[in-house]
Chain A
Amino acid sequence: MDHSAAIHVAQPLLWALIFLPAVGALVNGFLGRRLGKGNVALIGIGVMVAAFLAAVFAYTRLFHGEVLHAAGDPWFQVGGLSIRFGLLFDRLSGTLSLVVTGVGLLIHVYSSSYMEHEDDFGYARFFTYLNLFVAAMMTLVLGDSLALTFMGWEGVGLASYLLIGFWYTDQQKAWCGRKAFIANRVGDFGFLIGFFAVLSIFGTADYGQLASMAARLQGGALLATGPFAGWTVTGAVTLATLGFFVGCTGKSAQLPLYVWLPDAMAGPTPVSALIHAATMVTAGVYLVARTSFLFALAPASMAVVTTVGAATALFSALIAFAQTDIKKVLAYSTVSQLGFMFIGVGSGAYFAGVLHLVTHAFFKASLFLGAGSVMHGMRDDTDIRNMGGLAKKMPQTARTFLISTIAITGLLPLSGFFSKDAILAGALFAHNAMTEAYPWVGVTAYVLGTLAAAGTAFYMMRLYALTFAGTPRTEAAAHAHESSPLMWGPLWILSALAVVALVLGLPGEWAGGELFARFTHPVFAQAIATAHVEEHAATAWPFVVAWLVAVVFGGLGWAMYAGSLKRIPIRFVEAVPALYRFALDKFRVDELYEWLLVKPIQKVSHFLWKVGDAFLIDGLLVNGTARAANAFARAFRTLQNGDVQRYAAVMALAVAAILWTALGRGGH
Chain B
Amino acid sequence: MPTVSANDLLALAPVALLALGGIALLLTEVFLTTGRRGYQAGLTVAFAVAAGAAALAAGNLGPVFRGQATADGFAAFVTVTVCGGLALAAMVGASWLGARDAERGEFYALALFATAGMSLLAMATDLLVAFIAIEVMSLSIYALAAFMRRGRKPAEAAFKYFILGAFSSALLLYGTSLVYGATGTGGRPGSTLLADVARGAGSPLLVAGLALILAGLAFKVGAVPFHVWTPDVYEGAPTPVTAFMAAGVKAAAFALLARVMMATYAGTAGSADGFFLQLIGTLALLTMLVGNLFAVPQRSVKRMLAYSSIAHAGYLLLAVLAAGQPALRADALSGLLFYLASYTVAAIGAFAVLGAVEDRGTGPGAEPPGACDVDRLAGLSRRRPLLAFAMAVFMLSLAGVPPTAGFVAKLLVFKSAIAAGSWALAVAGILTSALGAYYYLRVVVFMYMRPAAEGEPEGIFSPLLSVALLIAVVAVVVLGIGPEPLSGFARAAAAMVR
Contact = CB atoms under 8 A, between A and B. Distances in A.
B287 interface: no
B484 A651 contact: no
A648 B211 contact: no
Interface residues of A, number: 37
A655 B171 CA distance: 9
Interface string B289-307: 0100110110000000000
Interface in B447-498: 482-485, 487-488
B4 to A, nearest CB: 38
A539 B161 CA distance: 92
Given A640-B228, A655-B212, A662 B207 contact: yes
A77 B163 contact: no
Contacts of B164: 644, 647-648, 651
B484 A662 contact: no
A625 B438 CA distance: 10
B24 interface: no
Interface in A625-668: 625-626, 629-630, 632-634, 636, 639-640, 642, 644, 646-648, 650-651, 653-655, 658-659, 661-663, 665-668
Interface in A555-587: none
A551 B457 CA distance: 75
A75 interface: yes
Contacts, number: 103
A388 B231 CA distance: 78
Contact of A648 (B167, B279, B483): B167
Contacts of A662: 207-208, 211, 272, 275, 279
A88 to B, nearest CB: 20
Contacts of B53: none
A665 B273 contact: yes
A74 interface: yes
| Interface hub of A622, A625, A654 (most chain B Cβ within 10 A) | A654
Interface string B193-208: 0000000000110011
Nearest to B211: A662
B207 A73 contact: no
B176 interface: no
B300 to A, nearest CB: 13
Contacts of B293: 629, 632-633
A630 B294 CA distance: 8
A233 B225 CA distance: 55
B207 A663 contact: yes
A76 interface: yes
Contacts of B268: 666
Nearest to B166: A648
Contacts of B276: 666
Given A640-B228, A655-B215, A659-B212, A76 B483 contact: yes
Contact of A75 (B208, B212, B219, B484): B484
A663 B204 CA distance: 6
B28 interface: no
A659 B294 contact: no
Contact of B487 (A77, A634, A642): A77
Contacts of B225: 650-651, 653-654
Contacts of B229: 647
B167 A73 contact: no
Contact of A73 (B411, B415, B484, B487): B484
Contacts of A651: 164, 167-168, 215, 219, 225-226, 228
Interface string A594-636: 0000000000000000000000000000100110011011101
A219 B435 CA distance: 48
B204 A665 contact: no
A655 B212 CA distance: 7
B254 to A, nearest CB: 19
Contact of B482 (A75, A644, A648, A667): A75
A654 B275 contact: no
B215 A77 contact: no
Given A73-B484, A630-B297, A667-B207, A647 B168 contact: no
A330 B268 CA distance: 77
Interface in A320-372: none
B438 A622 contact: yes
Contacts of B211: 658-659, 662
A648 B163 CA distance: 9
B310 to A, nearest CB: 11
Contact of B488 (A74, A636, A654): A74
Contacts of A665: 272-273, 275
B297 A633 contact: yes
Interface in B11-29: none
A647 B279 contact: no
B226 A654 contact: yes
Contacts of A622: 438
A607 to B, nearest CB: 25
Nearest to B214: A658
A507 to B, nearest CB: 48
B484 A77 contact: yes
Interface in A434-457: none
A635 to B, nearest CB: 10
B8 interface: no
Interface string A40-75: 000000000000000000000000000000000111
B333 to A, nearest CB: 16
Contacts of A74: 484-485, 488
A632 B296 CA distance: 10
Contacts of A659: 208, 211-212
Instruction: Please give me the 6 A-B residue pairs with the lowest Cβ-Cβ distance, nearest first.
Output: A667-B204, A666-B272, A666-B275, A647-B228, A629-B296, A74-B484
21 contacts: A74-B484, A74-B485, A77-B484, A626-B296, A626-B438, A629-B297, A629-B435, A630-B297, A644-B160, A648-B164, A651-B164, A651-B168, A651-B219, A651-B226, A654-B225, A655-B215, A659-B212, A662-B207, A666-B276, A667-B204, A667-B207
Interface of A: 73-79, 622, 625-626, 629-630, 632-634, 636, 639-640, 642, 644, 646-648, 650-651, 653-655, 658-659, 661-663, 665-668
Interface of B: 159-160, 163-164, 167-168, 171, 203-204, 207-208, 211-212, 214-215, 219, 225-226, 228-229, 231-232, 268, 271-273, 275-276, 279, 290, 293-294, 296-297, 411, 415, 435, 438, 482-485, 487-488
